[in-house]
Amino acid sequence: MTTIAGEIENTRVDGARLWSRLMAMAEVGATAAGGSNRQALSDDDAAGRALFADWATAAGCSITTDSVGNLFARRPGRDDSAAPVMMGSHLDTQPTGGRFDGVYGVLGGLEVIESLNDKGIETDVPVEVVVWTNEEGSRFARSMMGSGVWAGVMELDEVRAITDVDGITVGAELDRLGWAGDGGTQRPAHYIELHIEQGPILENDGTEVGIVTGVQGLRWYTIELTGFPAHAGPTPMDLRQDPARPLAEILTGVYAIAADHAPWGRCTPAMFRSDPVSPNTVPSTITFSLDLRHPERASLDDMDARMRALVAEAAATHGCTATVAVDNDSPPITFSEDCVSAVERSSRNSGFSHARIVSGAGHDACYVANVAPTSMIFIPCADGLSHNEAESIEPEQATRGADVLFGAALELAGGG
């Protein structure tokens, strides 16, 4: 970790303005416990976007949307035809989400534009803030939907056909809200996403700014263990084909696999289901999900191979069969060294303690990195808590991150 004594008093952004807007946005879809509920393509999501668009328009930005509803606020540059420097994140939330996940990156980007205006700085290339559609994937179960379509990773027609629990499609909501536009097609020269860490590393280390070098790879699986249903009373233990027996060994084993790949190895078994659903019958099948993560492809491949061998051996030992289906395979992402270095220089120039870090969570920056040089900036959040109404940061932390974003964006956009 690099530490520079003291902190520059005159930051390059207006922290009070940024904080007041974060608090104003938190009132849109506010929950009783102090969080936010602006699920994608809902009326509250629309209200949050309208508030942002009003602020951006007042700051002199032009507003456009693309075919999947991504919203772009553009400040012109000296060469307005040049590829822009883009900042942004998302405004949609989990049903019981916090006040900063996503929204901090959007309003931090807007604060950079406002501060450029305040200082009368003209940039060589345009500067944009993007609001990506449905990053969370809570209402419509495909996360990072907007950036995925924009980057060419997802097909628009397939995304428009996705439904929520009430059978309403993404396409119907895009059309209802008038969000299916034809703008925002220009690829950026650089993209920087400002975000809360959503983990405890920066806070535990006492580090003020995280310089994100990439994002962990992840693989999601559905594992099904099949035995033979039998009565819980008369059937002797040694004559059962009980899928709960291999399940117990698999759970112990996957945690050991993650530990062997410390400190970055992650395993999360969840979504357990048994059939039949009965307290006095040996299950016929037990199905569960498994999430494996690591920032290095070779390590993730090793975790995958060891997990598959573990599942097969545990099932066979107890007279059961097993299947392993891959539901999502997202490779590790390494961000552009040019962008990462710009963030690092800005952190140093701002006088903040900083360290390079890998993101444990997925972000829109993952898809953007496929088509443009990309980096991210993290600030600590209290106890590393996110996707929770108690999610919390301090005003001075918000200001630090936006100040670093300002310096990096200004360098990349050629301001002066």
* pLDDT attached to residue 202: 97
Is the pLDDT at 9 greater than 80, yes or no?
no
- What is the average pLDDT across 22-47? 98
CB 352 within 8 A of CB 207: no
- What is the average pLDDT across 175-194? 94
Which residue ranges make up each domain of the chain? 15-216+332-413, 217-330
* pLDDT attached to residue 327: 86
**CATH class entry, domain 15-216+332-413:** alpha beta
Q: What is the DSSP letter of 415?
A: B
Match domain 217-330 to its CATH number in 3.40.50.1820, 3.50.50.60, 3.30.465.10, 3.30.70.360: 3.30.70.360
Interval 67-109: pLDDT, tens: 999 999 999 999 999 999 999 999 999 999 999 999 999 999 9
CB 310 within 8 A of CB 237: no
Is the pLDDT at 5 greater than 60, yes or no?
no
pTM here? Answer: 0.86
* pLDDT attached to residue 11: 61
Q: What is the DSSP letter of 123?
A: B
CA atoms of 194 and 89, how far apart (whole Å)? 7
Q: What is the DSSP letter of 84?
A: P
Three-state secondary structure of 33-71: CCCECCCCCCHHHHHHHHHHHHHHHHCCCEEEECCCCCE
